[in-house]
Amino acid sequence: MALSTNVAQAREALGAHLRQLRRNANLTGRELAAMCGWLPSKVSKIENGKQTPSPADLQSWTEATGHPEANEPLRAELAALESFYRDWRRQLKAGMRFRQVESLALEACTRHLRVWEPNYIPGLLQTAEYARIRLEQGAKLYGAPNDLEAAVAVRMERQRVLQLPTKRFDFLIAEGALRDGNAASRVVMAGQLDRLMVATTQATVNVGVVPSAALWPFHADNGFWIYDADAVIIETLTAELRLTHTDEITVYTRVHNALAEVAVYGAAARAAIASALAGVPPR
């Protein structure tokens, strides 16, 4: 399923509910638009899931159709839709540090975090040098304010959560991410792999390496983070998707569990990391 499917379906469902309100009021789209001071095309776009209405749009719509009591449930529906799709550029206007603080708060209230990362070392296991590269790339791409060092500091602070005995962390990392020379320089990768080796010995942390030679039960191209049974967060180049529907969380949990079955752990995981480290020259 495409990552945008949930967004489109939620927007279409909201549009259908608004269309029903208009029809119940015996209003044409043109009449409703005139009452709200809009172009007629706006009503059509909203009803057909081509445009996301604003909270002000919902208020105007419900008042014009004589159903102001529908505003609150429709706004809740809109909030759920927006939680699916969070534009990176809009998030990062406040700086890279702000986004790291958001993650810190979310991880503080999560008891069991499950992560799949096919391309990079997960943020909670990164060294400062590796994190700086990843965050700097994001800042350049989105033109975020220059608060890189502050953002790196918060990402390092986030890692304190790994020491809490009430937490559990299950990280699955594709073997290719250990050997990716495009992710960081050789020196940075060497330090990062050393850090990952240490992580395999932490009491609350379970690190699994999915071998490149293994037959993956599912090919999940995008990394994802599962927060308890409450939400799944997926990061793409342009947006963050936050999925909260139970059936969606179940699918991602099933994929994580299936990948976990072909991963190697403990001594075998450390051997895979050591093999990757041996292939990284010290300079």
pLDDT in tens, 91-140: 777 788 988 998 999 999 999 999 999 999 999 999 999 999 999 998 88
What letter would DSSP give residue 70?
G
Q: Can you give the pLDDT at residue 282?
A: 53
Q: Where in the chain is the domain with CATH 1.10.260.40?
A: 5-86
Q: Which one of 3.30.870, 3.10.20, 4.10.280, 1.10.20 gives the CATH number of domain 95-278?
A: 3.30.870
Please indicate whether residue 244 or residue 159 has the higher confidence score (pLDDT).
159
224 pLDDT higher than 70: yes
pLDDT for 22-69, tens place per residue?
999 999 999 999 999 999 999 999 999 889 999 999 999 999 999 999
Structural element, H or E, at residue 115: strand 112-117
8 pLDDT higher than 70: yes
Identify the bridge partners of residue 232 per DSSP, sorted by sequence position.
Answer: 226, 243
238 pLDDT higher than 70: yes
Please indicate whether residue 238 or residue 22 has the higher confidence score (pLDDT).
22
The mean predicted confidence, pLDDT, of the chain is: 90
Q: Can you give the pLDDT at residue 283?
A: 47
Distance CA 247, CA 228 (A): 14
Say how many C-beta atoms besides its own lie within 10 A of residue 116's C-beta.
26
Classify domain 5-86 by CATH architecture: Orthogonal Bundle (1.10)
Q: Where in the chain is the domain with CATH 3.30.870?
A: 95-278
Considering only CA atoms, which of 253, 172, 258 is closest in space to residue 207? 172
Strand 231-235 to 224-227 pairing: antiparallel
